[in-house]
Amino acid sequence: MASLIEHNQPLDKRLTKHLLRRACFQYSKTQLDNMTGKTPAQILLILNQSSPFAWIWPNDPVTNGSGANPSCANNQDGYWLNDQNWQNNSYPCRQGPKRAMVAGWWWYNALKQNALIDKLTWFLFTTFTTAKDDGSGKAGHFFDYINLLQFYAGKSVKDLARKITFDNAMLYYLDNGDNNKNSPNENYAREFLELFTIGKGPQVADGDYTNYTEHDVVQAAKVFSGIKLKNNRDTVDSDTIKLPHYPSGIPMGYINVNKHDTGNKTFSHAFNSQTISGGNTTSAINTELDDFVDMVFDQLETAKNYVRKIYRMYVRSEWNQDVEDGIITPLAQQLKTNGYNLMDILQTLLKSKHFYDLDDSDSTNENIGGIIKSPLQFLSELITILDVRIPNPETTQVAEGTNQTNGKNNENYRFYLFWWQFCHNTFFTFSGMNIFSPATVAGYPADYQPPAYDKAWFNSNNIIARYNTILSFIGGTYNNDNYGNGQNRIQGIQTTNSGSQYYSRIWTDFDAINFIENCISDPSEATKIVEELSGLFYPEDIDANRTAYFIKFLIQDNEPNYVWYDAWTAYKTGSGNDQENAAIFIKNRLSGQDGLLPKMINAAEFQLM
């Protein structure tokens, strides 16, 4: 029977892998070794610790060319969000790259911090969705929005639902700034009920979705009328002081009393026909908003909707009535009782026997390995598990960032190239996840759309990008400088004007031999390599036949069993040509086009967590 009883025993390697992958974005051998043998409570205590931002301010290191808008041509906007003289309208150029760098800033810090709050921030994005590249304002508004989600990730989602109504990016995205008493716009009100809070129940009549009705959407729009955006970000919310970025609070919109519908709002039977008094002053309108949010969050169905979304992201996409009764409903009751603190119920779930599939007689048939990794999870894990070196954006930018001589010598600029050109414009685009920019306000189909759910991340339209990501990181032609051997295999071969062909570089570096030396207890043994890599890479152990299949990429069918041992011995103890030839042989078998690492990373087992 599905149970929230706490699992208070030390976790073995298998269960530790399960927790680490589901809870965070980073995953490495060092982390796995350090956490194995601890209880879930001990691990979660570590993962719930906050740490300072590794990369404090996002920046745009590129100098605008002479063909840019005259108001910003030849300027390097740099750390534009930390410029005391900055006004949002003063930087009209390169907003797309700037929004992308804000996304890169969030991702890099999530990778470095490796805390529960980062994946929970992403969860809140998939719940209170905007699209950074589709009508949600300037890069500064997107920065405020991400920080608002992060601020409330460890606090009350009820408070977030209230605050995000004033978020400038959200006001842009769902047009609530156009919602006036004489010209109502119901977009935000509809999504607030359907997607952000209580959610639709079964449709029992025309316009009646059990949990709310079309009448409630109309009334909610009246509650939300008169809230306006502040493009220049000079109105802040003192409840959201967040250092070091917001010493006075996060920027927000404001109430225009003259545009607000001041009449009383009476809701449907779904909300017990409750009437909320209309306000005609800023203070009274804020009280009206509080009353409306209280009404929505007083419904247990609102708590259940959040818990179901949490369960779908952290455990599995579908479940039976036993789970609904034994897991979803008790967690919803806890959430409602504790003031809608998602972090609390998340930890209850991650500590439970149910999460580890230990609440029935078969501990191998449900949760572990039951989710296909999203592109975000896949990329983050691949970089951290292989210890791929990426450029360091914490390095201070140089002037004239577009000058290749100066720019490529600066890691901050190289991170821009890595993130903007490879991650943002190539990997995420071709893997089906435009980062922080889904096609609709409902979010990514994998998060909400049956029957596929997370299987949508792995189909004929997006798997090629995954398969070519490992080939991009293991490198190839760029081996003769200090800028890394990574090359963009997703984008494919490029051709110069003179007809020469090449792969664009991605400014990363990976050494397969160093990785194996640091990761495997005895790299001279092919069987040991496959067994230990599969134990690190995959959620479940592989059988003898699968192990033998992978060994053949180190020792081919027509070769003696000692060929790998001899090559490794020559590499470690030989000299001159013998050592050099051994290194070439080993690298080819590990990281060549048909090497062991591409085959193991691109195997079905690695796509699962």
Residue pLDDT, tens place only, 371-404: 999 999 999 999 999 999 999 999 988 875 555 5
Q: From CA 396, how far away is CA 418, in angstroms rounded?
A: 16
Query: What are the DSSP E strand ranges found in 402-507?
Result: 494-495, 501-502
pLDDT tens digits for 322-335? 999 999 999 999 99
Residues listed for the chain: 609
* pLDDT of 91: 58
Reply yes or no on whether the pLDDT at 211 is more than 80: yes
- Find, among 276, 296, 218, 286, the residue nearest to 254 by Cα: 286
With 80 as the cut, is the pLDDT of residue 48 above it? yes
Residue 479 has pLDDT above 60, yes or no: yes
d(CA 302, CA 193): 9
Residue 364 confidence (pLDDT) above 80: no
Take residue 111 and report the two structure tokens written for it: 């990778």
Q: Please say whether the beta carbons of 609 and 119 come within 8 A.
A: no
Is residue 272 classed exposed, middle or buried when 0-12, 13-18 and 19+ CB atoms within 10 A define those classes?
Answer: exposed
| % of residues, the chain, pLDDT over 90 | 87
- Per-residue pLDDT for 500 more than 70? yes
Half-sphere exposure of 303 (CA within 13 A, CB side): 26
Cβ neighbours of residue 443 under 8 Å, at least 6 residues apart?
Answer: 126, 127, 129, 195
The pLDDT-based confidence of 74 (bands split at 50, 70, 90) is low
State residue 366's pLDDT score.
Answer: 78
Q: What is the pLDDT of residue 480?
A: 65
Q: For the chain, report the end-to-end CA distance as a whole number of angstroms.
A: 23
The predicted model gives 560-573 an average pLDDT of 97
Identify the helix (H) or strand (E) that includes residue 78: strand 76-78
State the virtual CA torsion across 398, 402, 404, 410 in degrees, nearest 10: 30
pLDDT at 163 over 90: yes
Residue 408: name the closest of 142, 416, 210 by CA: 416
Task: Look at residue 481 in the predicted model and tell me its pLDDT.
Answer: 76
- Distance, in Å, from the CA atom of 367 to the CA atom of 42, rounded to the nearest integer, reads 21
* pLDDT for res 68: 56
**Which residues 6+ apart lie within 8 Å of 158 measured at CB?**
293, 297, 339, 340
Q: CB-hemisphere CA count at 13 Å for 520? A: 23
- Three-state DSSP class for residue 516: helix
How is the chain split into domains, by residue range? 1-47, 115-299, 512-607
pLDDT of 71 = 63
User: What's the whole-model pTM score?
Assistant: 0.96
Confidence of residue 89 (pLDDT cuts 50, 70, 90): low
Predicted pLDDT of residue 1: 82
Place of tokens 């792969």: 503
CB 178 within 8 A of CB 186: no
In this prediction, residue 477 carries a pLDDT of 64
| Dist CA 424 CA 102 (whole Å) | 11
47-63 mean pLDDT: 91
pLDDT band at 189 (very low <50, low <70, confident <90, very high): very high
pLDDT at res. 69: 63
| H/E element, 302 | helix 300-314
- Mean pLDDT, the chain, rounded, equals 94
Q: Are 537 and 21 in contact (CB under 8 A)?
A: no
Residue 482 DSSP symbol: S
| Token pair of 574 as six digits | 């030989």
Q: Say what the pLDDT of residue 454 is.
A: 97
